[in-house]
Amino acid sequence: MSEKIFVITGNTGTGKTTVANYLADFYQMPKVVTHTTRLPRTGEQNGIDYYFESDTSFETMHYLERVEYDHKKYGSSHEGLSRAWEKNSYITIVLDTAGAITYAQTLGARAVIIFMTVSDINILKLRLVTRGDYEGNVAKRLESDEYQRDRELPAALAGVAHVVVNDDWAETKHTIDQIVQTAVNQTD
């Protein structure tokens, strides 16, 4: 069985983590834990949601790619990828679109790219607030350059990414199941 990574990308609040959790629960696909210098949200745990780093400790890892998002550093390390691939040939990672482009270019067909979106920004805002995000942070994030950039599928991912409109969870789950079946049946 050849190794594959399901790269789940798209804007803040579009349901990337929800999809990664579904793939972990129903397909036993481990999620690559990435590194960030942002502070943990309520309930987030070090080593599970992220490796929460200082500016100094962030620099000690070996990154396949790293970005700045909303003025904080994020990076996916070779160490984190190896840990996940030791557990299963099929793994997941949640990245912004800049990271997803790097994965598509670096790993080719081994990276199955899924671009998540939600039709209505007001529903997205509500989901973020219901998730427990502080309203001031939500407003700031929706104004960020990265949010504006990721409103549309980037040209570099056109024809490469599967686009999933996550308005209705039952439909999303069905689409994700189809994407997984296609990827698993594909011999590279």
Q: Which residues bind ligand ATP (CB under 6 A)?
A: 12-18, 127, 130-131, 166, 168-169, 172
At 132, is the secondary structure helix, strand, or coil? coil
At residue 104, what is the residue type?
A: A
Decide if residue 69 touches ligand LQESDW3C (CB under 6 A).
yes
Decide if residue 147 touches ligand LQESDW3C (CB under 6 A).
no
Biggest CA pair distance of the chain: 47
> Shortest approach of ligand ATP to residue 66 CB, angstroms?
17
36 Rama sector, left if φ>0, alpha if ψ -120 to 50, beta otherwise: beta
Give Cβ neighbours of residue 7 (< 8 Å, ≥ 6 apart): 92, 93, 95, 99, 100, 103, 104, 111, 112, 113, 114
Burial zone of 80 (CB within 10 Å; 0-12 exposed, 13-18 middle, 19+ buried) = buried
Please identify, using beta-carbon distances, which residue of 44 and 59 lies nearer to ligand ATP: 44
Binding-site partner at residue 92 among ligand LQESDW3C, ligand ATP, none, CB < 5 to 8 Å by type: none
Binding-site partner at residue 166 among ligand LQESDW3C, ligand ATP, none, CB < 5 to 8 Å by type: ligand ATP
Given 21, 38, 173, 175, the residue binding ligand LQESDW3C (CB under 6 A): 38
Binding-site partner at residue 99 among ligand LQESDW3C, ligand ATP, none, CB < 5 to 8 Å by type: ligand LQESDW3C
Under the rule (CB under 6 A), what is the footprint of ligand LQESDW3C?
Answer: 12, 16, 34, 38, 65, 67, 69, 74-76, 94-96, 98-99
